[in-house]
Structure 1
Amino acid sequence: MATLRNDFHNKFKDGDIPTHLDFVEIFDNFVHKEDDKANFQMVETGTDNEHYITPALLKAAFQNAGIIAGNCYVPIKNFQDDFSGSSIQLDPAPIADSAKVYKNGQLLKEIDDYNLNIDSGVITFSAPITNRNIETNYWAKNADTESSDPNTDPILGSLSVPFKENFDEDTFNNDKITLIEIPIKDSVRIYKNGQLLREGIGKDYVVNYNSGIITFSAVVSDRNIEVDYWYKSTVTLSDLELNTKYVDLTTPQAIGGNKTFTEAIEAKGFIKSGGTPNQFLMADGSVSTSPGSDYDAGHAGFGILGFGNGGYQKFSNGLILQWAYLTNNTNTYSFPLTWPNRALSVVLSTVRNTSGSRGFNHVYSITTTSYFAVIDGTNGYMFAIGY
């Protein structure tokens, strides 16, 4: 338990001379600049309550939240030239299912050719190997948080993105490749006609991880080249504007401004804030509360006898067309659809091939549901416009 300040004050009161133990107690109660400073491993463990955290370490902890959560990793390459033996110790240990082991560039098969202990990081081969080049590519937990060290490549919370570049044997003839993106250290894998090449001075190629330039030991021609690597995304865990700068499929977001898309946008559905399932999204971004049938262009049946003896068609502006085939002489008929407001015009005609006794057709007693039609024959047509 820490000694209170007043207790220290009393040790020097009235000319008292502090003892050796008093000075030990005083110094043990002060924080030492170096001895008591926490490191990232203490933050990651989270059990120490006796050390202080600097602002720089706090920033690193926030930026590397993925490391603390145990899901931020970096690529590792392990080389064993002219290897002879039956086992290899990997340091740091790989994460599960990330390791690939190559013997002279040929991919080995786990279980059949070797076994890997994830906890200890030991690779044990099924049979002793003599004078073969062994390369192990894998991912390990990122424990590097010091961005000021020029010899390190901390991802510092950045999201990593896989990338692939291919060069065809008919067009590639060069000893250099400049990658589109700057690769993460040790993430480059190069295959020549499917054979893994070896990275390093005096081997098949070297990579400048600052410029993204790959230099082969000799000009490569008439060969298919594939370069696989990872690069740092511009999105970081410390980006305070992440939710406003990038579209996320699960986080609630408000996206504003005018957007220009380079190709057609496809989606299973568009949802407007405050919208309901029975509304329609209009081209101007507004919603319509009209029933779904208002926008069903094929709602009305085609032909004289569509929907019984008539049919109708609605338009998005509210206009409605109705038609019917009349079969009961002069009579009262019902409209195929009740007018929401009223009919604007009703036109009649008679079906006959000679002049009728009356020689005319007319209509009256028009309501929202029916009309009285005078037709000069047994059969006739009705056409109406309304809303």
Structure 2
Amino acid sequence: MFQQFTGKEYLKIDIAGSFGYDKQDWDDRIGWFDQNEHQLHALVPQAEEPALFYAGVLAWEKAKEGKASGYPISLDATCSGIQILACLAGDRRAAEITNVVDTGHRRDAYVSIYQDMVNELGETAKIDRKQTKLAIMTHFYNSAAIPKQIFGEGQLLGLFHDKVNENAPGANEITNTMLAIWDPTALVNEWVLPDNFHVHIKVMGSVTEAVQFLNEPFDITYNVNMPIKGGRSLGANMVHSIDGMVVREMQRRCHYDPAKIEQLTKLLNAGAAGRNTHRPQDKLVMALLDHYRASGFLSARILELLDLENLGHIPHALVRNLIASLPEKPFEVISVHDCFRCLPNYGNDLRRQYNNLLAEIAESNLLGFIVSQMVGKPIQINKLDPHLAHDIRNTNYALS
């Protein structure tokens, strides 16, 4: 069940998070705040994020006086890269350890895999938690060097890969697939996302030349646009591109134009059926619809473009469903990568929008849509669990 909180409760959660309790359950954070409210100013030097902690305390004091502070709370995605991979693959195990589906508590993917390794090794375990986190993070961005550097090339590395695969089999399979489809002849990797954002990444290889300077030989290494064998950047770039789309969609869906939505609703009720194709915005509507048909993901960008002249191109039920998914009132969002900030009264809406986006990715064929562009032929990829979306929409800690 999706837990909802008041604006004041979100302030409590935020202050506890800035102190260092951001990985605890909601109720534990609120409980910590209530126990320490009398000494918040004295705790500032001990906080993990002292500036944010102090700002939150000042906002709390204003809130108690009934005054607006303008202070935005912060809610972070929990391992956004693995969250996205879990949704793309329909990977329930990865979804559980990254809070994409609810398990009753706030989970930490890095701790889950680390603890599984420790449990296997028993008292002989000599692995560092922070180093293990680095190995997991870089593994899912297709790094082989960092895990080897941390665990060596023997039994410990094998155990690491086993536990990663046990905890996130679908996400791990995508990671391996991105290595397998690398094109050693390509000068560029490119694909289009459902919101018509065009990804264009040059393939860069290192070249070393010997030069003479003051009669001494020096090797100069620099990067050039050239084909390379065994490239490992495709997976990371794909995940980062979807991460960016999620940020853009959060902005569109949370901070929509209410006048535009009201106008669209009136046009839908009137049965508007214009099918203009000549204006630039009409062409973009057609492109977004093509991306939707291929990917199963409809970008909220289309709401900005629809009007009397082109509303006939899209099934009205699609537009109504998209409008119905928006928050009741628009609100501003500040995003820094996968950290989202908004005024405390909108915390519930912020979390619901993020959950809904993850659910829409899980329902879509987004992975097949992107991979098809990478390999140059249609690819349909089945999900391990095609029924994740309902659970995702009710999860508690995807943003926490």
Tell me which interval the TM-score lies in, with the shorter structure as reference length: under 0.3
Q: Mark the structure with the bigger radius of gyration.
A: 1
**When you count helix as a share of all residues, which structure comes out higher?**
2
TM-score (norm 2): 0.22
Question: Does 1 or 2 have the higher relative contact order (CA < 8 Å, sep 6+)?
Answer: 2
**When you count strand as a share of all residues, which structure comes out higher?**
1
TM-score (norm 1): 0.22
